[in-house]
Every structure is written in structure tokens, then in C-alpha cells.
Structure 1
Amino acid sequence: MRISSSQYFNMNVASMSDQQSTLASMYQQISSGKRILTASDDPLGAAQAVQLTLKSGALAQYSTNQTTALSSLQQEDSTLGTVSTVLQSIQTKIVQAGDGSLTDADRTSVATAIQGLRDQLFGLANTTDSNGNYIFSGLKGSTAPFTNNSSGVGTTYSGDFGQRSVQISEGRSISVGDTGVSIFQSVSPTESDPVSSAGSQNTGTGTVSAVSVTDASNAGNASQYKITFAVSATDGTTTYSVESTPPDNTLPTNVAYTGKTDIKLGGQSVTIDGTPGNGDTFSVQPAATDNNDIFATLDNIVAALKQPTGTPGAQAALTNALSTAGTKVNNTFNNVLAAQTVVGGREQEVQSTQTSMQTSQTQTASDIANLTSIDLVSAISQYELTQTSLQAAQMAFSQIQKMSLFDYIGS
């Protein structure tokens, strides 16, 4: 088949143009270090690279979330640790206040110290994070969780009951905050003691001990008990009766009281001592059913410590107040410890997720590099080979152009 000069010229120009285009593409790959610059370079590889890049972006966001979650949990853990320390100091002060050798002035000084610790605890309950959000307000981060009641006793919770959570991996979110109610107005269901207390209108010198639990599995421990004393107007004899909610017909009724007595209530008991007055009452109830606002507890004990104890009745009232406050503060302390344990567990989970996520990020980055990066040594060798081929083609074309009839005749 005869090939015209124009056909030959066009074929060679097209061939050299293709080689130049290949060289340009190879140069871009070498200069960028990337094997895939456009989807046409490797359609399947490009699709895989897109998927890996999306995965890498998700892992990077999860990593950011993990850092945020860990920071929040560490702040809460630190705050709860300080709360525990303050509560321990309060427990010590309550024990000190029970020293019978203290004068009224001494107890007033103890009350002032407890008031200072109470204010410190109130500040901790309203702790904010680095962004100014209250860490114990639930989902209402911009609202202070606690405000003091105008009555001077207790606080009002203004947050909500939601828990902030952060997604730390695919399909796994973790709580990064607890509500103020769960910390400062609740007790641990497993680490709290029943609360005994004396009636506010008692007139005698009767005192009630802390509750002693002898059978933790007894169903009666979930009941609320009320012990009422009666003093006969004719002979002065004293009796007591016990009633409960829900009712229990097996409880003692009109039992003679002659002095210090242990009274069994389900799987628990309390000791009544002193001389109760007619109509005086004492109660025992599960911690969960009592008012567990730690601030109200502290306000009440501060007020009790400031009262003069010049009479036996006043001394008995102080003894009962100290016993009740001691149990409540101890229950709150245990509740805070339980919450701190949970927070510590969350911290460990986030840190464990961080470790495994870092491995995934490294592997994903390696997969992307293996898929899209080029072997520079091989690429440069191929580039030089292609360049040599182009140069050879150009020289051959130059020589063949001279092969014409006129050149032959001229020679």
C-alpha cells in the first residue's frame, strides 16, 4: 500500500504528540508524587481512593471528638475529686461538732467553717468549662444549674435532665457530662444508708442513733417507718408504737419504754435513748426517699450548730441533727465517689478508642499512599525511557523527511 507524504507526516506528528502528552502526564505525576491525578488515570483506583479519603476524614473527625470528650471527662473527674475532698472536710467538722466539751461559741465557729465549705461546694456545683458552659446543667449549658433558695435553706436546680454525648467512633457515643441533680441531689442506690431523724416538734430529750442494717436483703428495708412516743398523763409511763408505709401489722404497738432501746425495723434497727416527750416522733426511711439536697443538709446543720444548747432538750436536738446530717453527708460522699468511678470508666473507654483509632488512621493513610503514590525510581526510569523514545522518533522523522526523489536526483 502506498503511503502519501502527508499521511506519513500526520502519523508521525500524531505519534510524537502522544508521546509528548505522555511525558507531560508523567512529569506531573513525578512532580506531585501522585500516581492518580484524574479519574481517567485509574478509574478503579480513583474510586477506591475516594472511599479511603472519606474514611480518613471521618476518622479525623472522630479523633477530634475523642479529644473533646476526654477533655470534658477529665474536667468533670477533677471537679468531682475536689467535691469529694470538700465533703470529707465537712464530715470531719460534723464529727468535731459532736464533741461534748465544745461551748456554744466553739460550735458557732464550726458552723462558720461548714458554711465556708458549703459555699465552696456550691461553687463547684456551678463549675464551667473552657467555653463558659456549666458542666452540671445537662443540655442547658448556658444556665447555672444551682441557685440558693430565698428561704436560706437548700437550692433550686435550673438545668435539665439530659446528658451531653459525643460520638467517638462509628456507632458509639459516650456521655461527657452528668446532671447536677444526679451528683448533688441524689444518692447511690447501692452505697447509701437509711436515714434516721427526729421530729422537728419534739419536746423531750430523746435521741435517735444512725441506722444499723443487719439484713440488707430484707424487703422491709424499703419501707418508711415512724416511731411515736406517748407519755401517760396518769402514771407517767412511756410507750412507743411503730407504723410504716406501706402498712405492716406486725410492727410493735404500745410497747413500754424504760430507757435506751433498740427497735427493729425490717432488716435494720435504731437505738432510741433519753427521755422522749409525749407525741415525740422519730423516723427511718431509705436514703432515696429522703430530701437529698446536700446544700439543704448543710444549711440545716449550720443553723442547728448556731443554736444555744443550754437545756437538755436543745442538746438532744443538736445530737439528732448531727446524726442525721452525718448520714446524709456520707451518702452524698458515696454518691460522688460512684459518679467519679463511672466518669473514670468513660475516660478509659475514650483513651482505648483513641489508641485503636490511631491504628486505623495510620493504616488508612498507608492504604491511600499505596494506592495513589508513585514509585519515584520506577517513574523516573520510565520517564527517561519515554523521553529517549521521543527523541529517537524525532531524529528518525527528520532523516526520513529527506528521502524524496528530488533529494536523490540532487545527489
Structure 2
Amino acid sequence: MRISTSQFYNQNIQTMDNQEAQLGTYYQQLSSGTALTTPADNPLGAAQAVQLTMVSATYTQYQTNQNSALSSLQLEDKTLSSVTSTMQAITSEITRAGDGTLNDSDRASIAQALEGYRSQLMNLANTSDGAGNYLFSGFQATTPPFTNNPAGGVNYQGDNGIRESQVADTRQIATNDSGSSVFLSVPATGTSPVAASGASNTGTGTISAPSITNPAVATNGDSYTITFGGTSAAPTYTVTDNTAVPPTTTAATAFSANTPISLGAGMQVQIKGAPAPGDTFTATPSTAPGNTSVFQTLDSIISALQQPAQNNPTATASLENALTTGTTRFQNSLTNVTVVQASVGGREQELQALQTTTQTNSLQTQSDLSNLTGVDMVSAISKFEETQNALQAAQQTFVKMQGMSLFQYLGS
């Protein structure tokens, strides 16, 4: 087989070009630390690398969302802890106000202290995150959630929106609670019915907090009205279930301060003192309108403490009833804050667990991507030197062979 001079040149030049190209590839891999410089290097590996890069970016975004959500929940948790502490201090003041040895001046001092605590509570309810976003405004994040109502209580300017963050493939987590759910609501479970006296009562009757004798009775959640009749010397009362359709009223029963009054088949109250004919008392569910706003409850208690009651049996009875009502309502509100804070704590724990899982998955994905695209430096250096030596040998051989000619041998 004959090999022409042009063939010889072309084959050697092509071999050296290929070696130089391979040498350039090895050099680029060594300098960049990446084995896949182009998809052509490893089409299957390149496709897998794209997929792993997308997964890694997703985990990075989840980590950002988790950190942001956890920061929001930790701020809410801290705020609710302050709310709880303030409400516990208020509870102590309300308990002290029930001391029968206090005079009007003492109660006025307690009312003033409660006004200070109310201001603290209002400030906490309007807490912002430092960037102008209010914790308890729902979707109306830039609007202060609460303003004082001149008639008592507050106006809620937020909404019931719950901001959620995508923290995993199939998990969104609430990063806030609305102000209405924290300060204007109470749960139906774990709270107590509220007893109250009529605003126009003229007797000295005082009502106790309702006691549950049979928790399984459905009518425990009904609203009841106790109406007194008869005469001052021989008072009677009737009990009306206002929730029944139509409302039902018991027959008139002789009143005795030592006998509990049944409200349906599973609840009872006790009324002491001397109710006057026409006086009324109510027992309503904890979730009934008027029972759920912590601010309205506080305002009612403060107003009652500011009213003169000294040496006035009717006013004293009215104050005692107001404190009984206010204590139950306020305790229900405190229970609600505790429930909300427990929910926040549960979400914090879930996020912390998700952070650990996501970080582990992210590190594994990055490791897989590194194994797929990274360069084995020892092997790459070895191949680089091997190819470099081969190229140098080819170049030297080509130079020597290039100078060879048949005429050199013929002449000799």
C-alpha cells in the first residue's frame, strides 16, 4: 500500500490537532473544576445536571421561604408572649378589684391601672415588623389593625386574610394570624359560658358563673334569660331558652337564694341576694357577640370600677355582676390567645423540622451535582500530562520524518 506525502502530512496534522483539542478540553476542565464544559461532553450527564440544578434552586428558594416564615412566626410568638403577660397582670388587677373591703377610691385606682394595661395591649395588637407591615392586619399589612372606638371597644381595620408561604413541595404554612382571630374571638371549646345581669336591674341579686353539670348536653350552648317576677316578698323566676325554635320558657318557680337555677339539663347558675321583680339575668355561650372582644371586655370592667358603689347595695350588686361577667369573658380571651400562641409554636416547630430536612436534601443534591459535573483532579492531571507527552512526541516524530527523503539514500 502506498502512502503519499500529502496523506502522511494530513494524517499527522489531524492526529496532532485532535491531541491539541483534547489537551484544551483537559486544561479547561482543570481550570474550571467542571467536567461538563459542553453538553456534547456527556449528553446524558448534561441533562441530569440541568435537572439537579433546578432541584437545587428549588431547595434554595424553600430555604429562603422557610427562614422568612420562621422570622415572622417568631416575632408573632414573642408578641403573643407579651400579650399573655399583660393579660395575666390584668387578671390579677380584676381579682383584686373584687375585694369587698375596697372603697370607691381604691377601685378608681385599679381602673386607672387597667387603662394603662389596655394601652399596652393596644400597642401589642398594633405591632409591626419594623418594615411597616403589621402582624395582625391580615392582607392589609400596611394598615394598623386596631383603632379605639369612642363608644367602647375597638374598630378592626384589617381583614381575616392569612398570608401563606410555600415551604416545601406540598406544604404551605400560615405566617400570620388576623387580629380578629386573636383579640376579637374565643374558641367554643375550652371556654366558659358567660353570665350577666340586666343593665336596668334594681335589686341586689348577684349571679355566679355558670357551672356545667353534664358536658354531653347539647343545650349547654344555648342562650338563656332568667326573668324575675312575683313580689319582693315572694319572688319567682322563669327561664327562657332563646336558642330553641320557638323559644321555650319554664313555668314560674319560687326563688330561693340557696337553690341553683337549672339552665336546660346540663348547666346551672346560682343567684344570691334579693332580685327585684322585673330584673333579668342571662347566660350566653362564650362565642356570643359581646363576649369575644378583649378590649370591649376591659372597657366594661373599667367603666364598672369607675362607678360609685360605696354604701349602695344595688350599685354594689351591679359591680359584682360586672366583675363576674368581665372575669369570665377575659379568661376566655386569655384562653384564646394561649390557643393561638400554641398554634404559632406548632408552626415554628414544623418549620424548624422542614429546615433540617431541606438542608439535608439540598446538600445531597449539591453532592450529586458535584459528583456528576466535578472533575477528578488526579485523573484529569494524569490524562492531561499523558496527552501532552503524546503530542510532544508526535510533534518531534513529525519533524524528523518531515526531513526524510528517498534521494538521501539514493545519493549515498
TM superposition shift of 1:407:
2.9
Q: Report the equivalent of 2:68.
A: 68
Q: Report the equivalent of 1:373.
A: 374
Take 2:169 and 2:256, find their aligned partners in 1: how far apart are those partners?
A: 69
Q: Report the equivalent of 2:313.
A: 312
Answer yes or no: is 1:322 the counterpart of 2:320. no
Q: Report the equivalent of 2:160.
A: 161
TM superposition shift of 1:253:
2.2
After the TM superposition, which residues 312-351 of structure 1 pair with which residues of structure 2 at under 5 Å, given as runs? 312-351=313-352
**2:14 is aligned with what amino acid?**
A
TM superposition shift of 1:405:
2.6
5+ residue gaps, structure 2, are: none
Deviations 1:153-205 (A, max 9, x none): 00111111111111111011001111111111111221110000000111111
After the TM superposition, which residues 133-282 of structure 1 pair with which residues of structure 2 at under 5 Å, given as runs? 133-151=133-151, 153-232=152-231, 236-247=233-244, 252-266=250-264, 267-282=266-281
Judging changes above 3 Å, is the alpha-carbon distance between structure 1 residues 21 and 230 closer, same or farther for their aligned structure 2 residues? same
Deviations 1:45-99 (A, max 9, x none): 0110000000000000000111011111111111111111111111111110011
**1:254 is aligned with what amino acid?**
A
TM superposition shift of 1:236:
4.0
Q: What SS does the corresponding residue of 2:378 show, helix, strand or coil?
A: helix
Q: What is the aligned residue count? A: 408
Take 1:408 and 1:13, find their aligned partners in 2: how far apart are those partners?
A: 26
TM superposition shift of 1:13:
1.2
TM superposition shift of 1:250:
7.6
Which runs of structure 1 show a deviation greater than 6 angstroms over 4 or more consecutive aligned residues?
A: none
Take 2:25 and 2:386, find their aligned partners in 1: how far apart are those partners?
A: 14
Deviations 1:129-158 (A, max 9, x none): 13221111111111111111122x001111
Q: Report the equivalent of 2:293.
A: 293
CA contact (8 A) 1:195 1:290 kept: no
TM superposition shift of 1:245:
1.7
TM superposition shift of 1:9:
1.2
Answer yes or no: is 1:357 the counterpart of 2:358. yes
Take 1:31 and 1:410, find their aligned partners in 2: how far apart are those partners?
A: 52
CA contact (8 A) 1:261 1:273 kept: no
After the TM superposition, which residues 124-139 of structure 1 pair with which residues of structure 2 at under 5 Å, given as runs? 124-139=124-139
Take 1:118 and 1:191, find their aligned partners in 2: how far apart are those partners?
A: 24
Q: What's the % identity of the aligned pairs?
A: 49
Q: What SS does the corresponding residue of 2:278 show, helix, strand or coil?
A: coil
After the TM superposition, which residues 78-97 of structure 1 pair with which residues of structure 2 at under 5 Å, given as runs? 78-97=78-97
Take 1:379 and 1:256, find their aligned partners in 2: how far apart are those partners?
A: 103
Deviations 1:326-355 (A, max 9, x none): 000100111111111111111111111111
**2:250 is aligned with what amino acid?**
P
Q: Report the equivalent of 1:284.
A: 283
TM superposition shift of 1:22:
0.8
Take 1:214 and 1:220, find their aligned partners in 2: how far apart are those partners?
A: 12
Take 2:25 and 2:173, find their aligned partners in 1: how far apart are those partners?
A: 48
CA contact (8 A) 2:259 2:270 kept: yes
Deviations 1:213-271 (A, max 9, x none): 11111111011100011143xx8421111111234888532111243431011211111
CA contact (8 A) 1:238 1:256 kept: yes
CA contact (8 A) 1:62 1:168 kept: yes
Answer yes or no: is 1:24 the counterpart of 2:24. yes
5+ residue gaps, structure 1, are: none
CA contact (8 A) 2:242 2:248 kept: no
Provide the alpha-carbon RMSD of the alignment.
1.4
Take 2:248 and 2:163, find their aligned partners in 1: how far apart are those partners?
A: 48
